[in-house]
Structure 1
Amino acid sequence: MDAIDLLSGVLTKTGDLVDGVTADQLGLPTPCDEYDVETLRNHLVGWLLVFAAGSQERRHEGDPTAYVCGADPAGEFRAAAADLVAGWRTHGFDREVRVVGGRSPAESVFNMALMEYMAHGWDLAVATGQPVPFTEQEAARTLARAEATLPPQYRGEGMPFGDIVPVAEDAPAVSRFAGFLGRRAAADDATG
């Protein structure tokens, strides 16, 4: 499995989680303190549009934090995911990619997208009681990319990522990944 196939698999599984959300779950809390399920779903699609535009060498217009899904959130997610994957397949990694606020090395942007959609897929699964769908191989490879990408200065109070939550070394890779990204429920997920 190459890197783009890895991303495609994670996006497909996260899209299935988006599709599995029911109307009565929209107000449920998620492992991300600032998001309920509906806000997380909007975040997932809004930022996917940004990542897709960058991968396709387009400039994204609009504020991803203000994005609100329409009547078919899963359809919107899947269309943007297909656009993102096609952009990576067409334009590759030997370039800089615009996300927000400037251009960054393609590999870093790719890793950010991969981390974003596995982490928030995990969040959505935990919040809605759906099984966490990511395979051991997907989670292990995403964790390795996260460890290589996420510097300590982006962790802690007021930062995009929480402090690392200790998870047993022999826990499933998806639980270790969630713990690495600061998800408190990861330790419980690994043991129970």
Structure 2
Amino acid sequence: MAFGVDNERQRLAKYYASLSDGELEQLADDADSLTASAREAFENELDRRELNDFLSRPVEQRSRLDMRALVTIRQFRDLPEALLAKGMLESSGITCSLANENLVRLDWFISNFIGGVKLQVAPEDAALAMSVLNQPVPENFEVEGVGNFEQPRCPACRSLDIAFEELNKPVAYATAYFGVPIPLSERTWKCFTCGHRWEEEPG
């Protein structure tokens, strides 16, 4: 187990060392959502570059939400999927935020390690937000950062109620230990209507 932890720390240290000062500054906004080992590696890199002030500065307000009082209602491995859910909430008048968004934009593989992109809302909006996300998905809609999105359908029953399969944490940590992404059927879909699973065609 200690060997795995050491590998994890080395990989994180190497990753943070490869980032520019500007990228580290961006990541400082999401530092509170890092795991303990990721946070330690991040702070070590800031200390090495004498950039500790990145963490002491107030985070720029991206919304009116009190960032300390947010609750996570969904986690997504892929940023486009998180942006779709965020767009659905915002179009319903619910203020929300994506934690870890900057981290995943810079390195998709780190998403597996940190638990994905977290969709967060104020506690009093959580029930309503979940009901919005559980509604039938429209066939087409506009989403910031994605553009016009046409929702895929289940090839078996043509339902729109589909999603990517979740990547479990043990598998995510195992891939981090090896230091390279391992093929994990990352484009596998599941239909919640009929239970059918299928692989998305490349391209």
Same fold (TM over 0.5): no
Larger radius of gyration: 2
- As a proportion of its length, which structure holds more helix? 1
The alignment's TM-score, normalised by the length of structure 1, stands at 0.27
> Which has a greater percent of strand?
2
Per chain length, whose mean CA-contact separation is higher, i.e. which structure has more relative contact order (CA < 8 Å, sep 6+)?
1
TM-score by length of 2: 0.26
